Amino acid sequence: MKSNLQIYKSLNILCVEDEDSIRLMYNEIFSIIFKNVYLAEDGNKGLAIFEKEQIDIILTDYSMPVMDGLKMSEHIRCIDSNIPIIMITAIENIEMLRRAIDIRITSFIKKPILAETIFSTLEFVAKSVLADRFLIEFQKEKISYNQYQENLTYEKETTIIKNDVQDLLLDFKCELFFKPRDILSGDSYSIRKLPNDSYLAFIVDGMGKGISASVTAMMCCAYINHTIDMRTEVKKNLLQDIVEKLLSFIAPNLLEYEVVSISFFLFEKEKREIEYAMFSMPAVLYMKNDSEDVFKLKSNNPPLSGYTKQINTKIVSMKDISKMLIFSDGLNENSVKDLECSYEEFLKDDFKLSHNLEELEEKRVSCIGEQEDDITYLFLRNLGNI
């Protein structure tokens, strides 16, 4: 990192930590590297500094008095959905990890803190920030070569995506919305028909922004599609097998602190069931034929990483489902215009009142301001009695 001193001198970092000795260490070390180092002793003061100063990277402890790092990050995400947040924690709690992934914590550092770990994580995050800045500036230069490259990139992304559904996914009317925020999308998806007339649908959300997230999402999508294309028959534990194969392929290709959020849904025709495995993705919304309530299918796995050892799957019956919404976090985490909250507070009711994707889109567009992330979602509506 020292060799890139001048590059990092253009960035400001906010360090939120309740221990005086650690804050002192941060100030002494990071003042050499970054343009400005801002320090806060709890989440409440950290949030105040963030609202006042121009911050590029946030490094925060989880456990702190007054306001912990996770609560502070939730408030910050309502203001800025893109800023990298690195969280330091000694807690290995699946619910805390799910909340952290839901608000898109960029990376985690486990206590006890090692200087090498902090520097390698900061270097990765800082390069991502600078890469995004470079892309934004580069895109402003509307030259023909740039436009040509962008068109090729988008063409490559959409070529990798496969959709074997024309209109119906079994007895479900299947409508899909895919809108990258930039040409380089961190989202990808496919819906594939299997040899036994069942279907596998998946949505991938690469960690972070820019090139790294886009490459990871495209690699995952391409490999899953390849795995499906090579199958001539469907064996038992298909979903488990596909996820295990993806994990064995992608884990060696991930950066040390990189993770992948992904949802798999296997629509099984014969069993009339949906088997799913969700890796730190937003909860799926669905309604039943005999109820006016909106139910949720929550993620049943932490994000995929090089350390993933166990894969959990669950099964839900298709018989009573009237409609379902499967989506990446670009849908529910977008800020609402004129309000300090995310669209998640409105999504449940909008889904309940929408009969199709077009109606949901009208409600979403009227509610949010500028699109802040890649958006991918499936709107499924049951047309039959199954």
237-277 pLDDT, tens digit each: 889 999 999 999 998 888 877 889 999 999 988 888 999 99
pLDDT in tens, 50-97: 999 999 999 999 989 999 999 999 999 999 988 999 999 887 778 888
In sign, the C-alpha dihedral spanning 95, 100, 101, 103 is: positive
**Is the domain of 32 the same as that of 173?**
no
Residues 183, 316, single domain; the answer is: yes
110 and 208 share one domain: no
Residue 145 lies in a domain: no
Res 359 pLDDT > 90 = yes
Residue 147 lies in a domain: no
pLDDT recorded at residue 47: 95
Q: Domain boundary residue among 116, 139, 162?
A: 139
Q: Is the domain of 83 the same as that of 173?
A: no
- If asked whether residues 166 and 58 sit together in one domain, one would say no
Indicate whether 81 and 51 sit together in one domain: yes
* Claim to verify: residue 245 and residue 376 sit in the same structural domain: yes
What domain count does the chain have?
2
pLDDT at 1: 44
User: Model confidence over 217-228: pLDDT tens digits?
Assistant: 999 999 999 999
CATH code at 32? Answer: 3.40.50.2300
The rounded distance, in Å, linking the Cα atoms of 217 and 37 is 33
The per-residue DSSP string of 307-360 comes to: T------EEEESTTEEEEEEE-HHHHSSBBTTSSSBTHHHHHHHHHH-SSHHHH
90 and 56, same domain (yes or no): yes
Same domain, 180 and 266: yes
Please check whether residues 113 and 186 belong to one and the same domain.
Answer: no
Is there a single domain that holds both residue 357 and residue 226? yes
**Does residue 230 carry a pLDDT above 70?**
yes
Q: Is 270 exposed, middle or buried, given 0-12, 13-18 or 19+ CB atoms closer than 10 A?
A: exposed
Q: Domain containing 213 — which CATH number? A: 3.60.40.10
Residues 6+ apart with CB under 8 A from 27: 15, 37, 39
Are 370 and 254 members of one domain?
yes
pTM: 0.61
Which range of residues forms the domain containing residue 64?
Answer: 2-139
* Domain-terminating residue out of 139, 166, 196: 139
